[in-house]
Structure 1
Amino acid sequence: MKLPMTAIALGLAAMGMTTPAAAVTTAVAQDEEQKAPELSKKGQEALAALQAAIQEERWADVPALVATAESDTETNDGKIILQKLRLNAAINMEDYEAAIDPIDKLAAMGAMEPQFNQVYVEVGKRRLFDENYDGAADVLQKALNTDPNNAEALIALAEVRTEQGQVDEGIKLLTDAIAQAEAAGGAEESWYKRAVKLAYDNENPAVFGLTRNWVTNYPSASNWRDTLRIYMGFNDADPAKVLDIMRLQFAAGALESEGDYLLYAEELLRAGFPGEAMAVINAGKQANAFDMNKRIVTEIISMAENQAKGDRESLDADFQGALSGSEPKKTITLADAYYGYGEYQKAAELYRAALGKSGVQANLANLRLGMTLARSGDYAAAKEVLSQVSGAQADAAAYWLAWVETQM
């Protein structure tokens, strides 16, 4: 199927070239801003003959007629019309490679038009498919020289650079394309997935920002699971960070397998939070995640049940002392315990108290306070607190912020 001539017709309109061949010599008088092109008599005749052949789809005649027009066309207007006609013929014959030369010539004459740029992109994608990476890079860069914000060209060039071994450049181009698309209304999820995979496979730190943007725009449980597992994979040496991210995984409904629930419960037991471990185990039971015939499952559940006995009752005895005491670490630990039992009001009161004590780890306290407010449903307050977190807790706070954004 031949492509429509609309784009080229629009380009020819100002030159009076949208009428039949015999009308080439007639000035367009319908629009006062349009003026008749300056053409010699021989040039008019040669261009009219070429235009007629294109309209009648006499493709075998086109090469000779182009050669004649190149010889007989002397004015700048005529040369521009000739290149637009060549482009017209190439597109209608679906010979996109042949369209590059007339576009290059039009650009050199200052007659480049936005609709022509898409031909560069189309040829670039075809060359990429054919593994002609240098050729693809050449035309895609031309497209970006004309339109630096062309997300489609950025995506294609990113794949080219990746195939050329310039992976970091490919990731940057993908990130730029996503940003352009987001500004214009939204990027395709496949773009996020490709960028995340490249960044993760190559241990590029851009993976963190990319995954956060991905789940902010496509916040499914499976996407949250993948995103947070990626983050934990980079931070498996820091149990405290991993635990706060597991808490987010739980909040986002992103625990999926038996292994997810068991790993989280084990980390909580190791950190001394049996009540929170029981909450995770009960959620796993409700989700039918456990094979109760497995020894490891029954052992972890039994351990949690034993450690949880009397744990909740012991918390209240320490509450007032933690509020008024001078040791912020103890106050935060007790707040963490209340958080695990879902008692967010008491947890928030303790975190705020800790922030007023000398020597407090303010970023840690604000992270946990923001998490608590988010879990309580006070998303506006959570966003405000989490936005203040910096330092070692900044990444975890950023992921929690991304989740809060999806809840508001």
Structure 2
Amino acid sequence: MRLASLCENQGVGDQVILGALAVTLGVAVGVLLFVPFVALSYRRSGGFGFRRFVVWGAALVYAMALWTYTLLPLPDPDALRCAGTGLDPFAFVDDVRAALGRSSEPLRDPAVLQLLLNVLLFVPLGFFVRVLWGRGIVIALAVGLGMSALVETTQLTGVWGIYPCAYRVFDVDDLLTNTLGAVIGSMVALAVPRRHWGVPKFVDAEQPTPITRSRRFLVMLCDVIGAWLTAAAVALVFQLALYALGADAAVRDGSAANVVGDAVSIAVWFVVVLATGRSVGDLAVQLRYTGGPLPATLARTLRFAGGIGGYLVLSALPGAWGLVAAAFAVSSVGVMLTTPDRRGLPGIVSGQRLIDARDLRETDAANPRPPAGPGR
């Protein structure tokens, strides 16, 4: 991947656009994976590590940047100019020597700049391989070589046949310099303490932990993001179905799809709460409502109405109901901050208390039910 020549051929504005695209795509993927990430964190490490979340977010943005800067922008097929290939390994050594001999500022020479950019591009990959996967230099070398080969082959084949020929130069030296960058990144990651490598699995991950404000905020965030994504996905599928079926233009304006998406999202969250007593956010963050004088079905229905269910219903209503939904959300946060054990409105309306879900497993293990005797 000829990054130096690529930077020369593209203006600063193009580079900024590609960078913004990488960040946008990385954030979008991060939102899609947020709830599963939180759930996995609580089950493997017993909690949610914000710093580790930031590192994973950075890895997502890097992955998008690797794609955008090496493959985009795609050329206009009518203006395509086929690129050549460089099959002479270590040709960059002679290029750098020549640059050092002819230039008083070698770092500005395209040959040197090409080498440095190809190395630097893959340094984050080696870093993430060690810090996020807990793997060393050998794996970083293999992953770097494999990823570089994938990018180079994609370019060489014209994005696997979309274009009749390669639109960027395939160079075996790029494989070498990219792989070197991954190895350097793995070595840089040695500065990170070993306890932060890989995906930690703590022995006490199944032990209950305090119900903090941040933990309850995380429940709310997981519920809102999960419900919004569910509604958006259903609305998109419904809208595509309307187009495929040739529905009248007035029906395809998006309003019907939004109504269906909101309705399905509300129904899914209600069924989950009714079946488990917990919202999706509670399940992800390992919380549970328990006790209370009401029958379980009624308590769970009220718990739904006093929590994410009430917010989703109000948000789905037209007009000024959006302001009511916002007021409901603000009130929910305020009540959560001031009630014992952070139980909030769901705990008040259902008459239940909020506990760590792992408390029940611990109680059940300590007090097993006696076996049923004869005649029972």
Verify same fold: TM over 0.5: no
TM-score range, shorter-chain basis?
A: under 0.3
- Please identify the structure whose Cα radius of gyration is greater: 1
Higher relative contact order, chain-length normalized (CA < 8 Å, sep 6+): 2
